[in-house]
């Protein structure tokens, strides 16, 4: 059994226990107290929205010579009109059968409306993304980029916790229309839905 008394700033915590000799109180400043319990990644980012500037980040991919490369998002998007769409996982049913095929099929139409780049992001490693991209031999325009540790997904504020399904941290399904780094459309799905982030939905926003 022990008693704790706390006084105001600086926080003075004194522990009194009849069984232990703790005569020296501990002094903890408010900043130290917060720093000791909070990490920089504790609080989720607000989801990216229309009017926001697209954050920069580094993503990975295998080039035509099968060499692993890294690329910054801003290097792909600065001064351009780009579509960035994210999926919960490579090879998953909705992603593989509907979301990605839609952007591949509509790529010509999207580019005719001024789109320079179409980028698919998933929280998978680049080896998985390379294998997934190969299942679309007709694809000429969609870039498959890996966000293996979900770092960029976190910067977008679009993490999806699928730990209960054994998948860990993934990405929410989304599609962004970005013009010279400024977000013009942010179509983010709720739960496992696929209702607002298709290629057709982005075409409506162009």
* 192 or 1, higher pLDDT: 192
Tens of pLDDT, residue by residue over 150-184, are 999 999 999 999 998 888 899 999 999 999 999 99
CATH number of 52-205: 3.40.30.10
Dist CA 170 CA 78 (whole Å): 26
Residue 192's pLDDT is 81
Question: What average pLDDT score do residues 182-206 get?
Answer: 96
Query: Which residues are CB-contacts of 47 (< 8 A; sequence separation ≥ 6)?
Result: 156, 157, 158, 172, 186, 188
Is the pLDDT at 110 greater than 60? The verdict is: yes
Residue 159's pLDDT is 95
Percent of the chain exceeding pLDDT 70 equals: 79
Residue 63 has φ and ψ, to the nearest 5°, of: -80, -175
Residue 191's pLDDT is 80
Percent of the chain exceeding pLDDT 90 equals: 74
What residue spans define the domains of the chain? 52-205
Residue 14's pLDDT is 46
Q: Which residues are catalytic?
A: 95
pLDDT bracket for residue 15 (50, 70, 90) = very low
């Amino acid at each position: 059994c022990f008693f704790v008394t706390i006084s105001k700033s600086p926080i003075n915590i004194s522990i009194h226990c009849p069984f232990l000799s703790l005569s020296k109180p501990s002094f903890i400043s408010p900043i130290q107290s917060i720093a000791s319990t909070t990490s920089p990644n504790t609080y989720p980012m607000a989801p990216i929205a229309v009017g926001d500037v697209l954050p920069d980040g580094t993503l990975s991919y295998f080039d035509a010579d099968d060499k692993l490369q890294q690329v910054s998002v801003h290097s792909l998007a600065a001064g351009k009109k780009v579509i960035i769409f994210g999926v919960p996982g490579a090879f998953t049913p909705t992603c593989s059968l509907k979301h990605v095929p839609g952007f591949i099929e509509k790529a010509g139409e999207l580019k005719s409306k001024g789109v320079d780049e179409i980028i698919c992001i998933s929280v998978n490693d680049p080896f998985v993304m390379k294998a997934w991209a190969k299942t679309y031999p007709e694809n000429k325009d969609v870039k498959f980029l890996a966000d293996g540790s979900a770092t960029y997904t976190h910067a977008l504020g679009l993490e999806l916790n699928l730990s209960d399904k054994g998948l860990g941290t993934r990405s929410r399904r989304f599609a962004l229309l970005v013009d010279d780094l400024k977000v013009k459309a942010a179509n983010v799905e709720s739960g496992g839905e696929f209702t607002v982030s298709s290629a057709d939905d982005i075409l409506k926003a162009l």
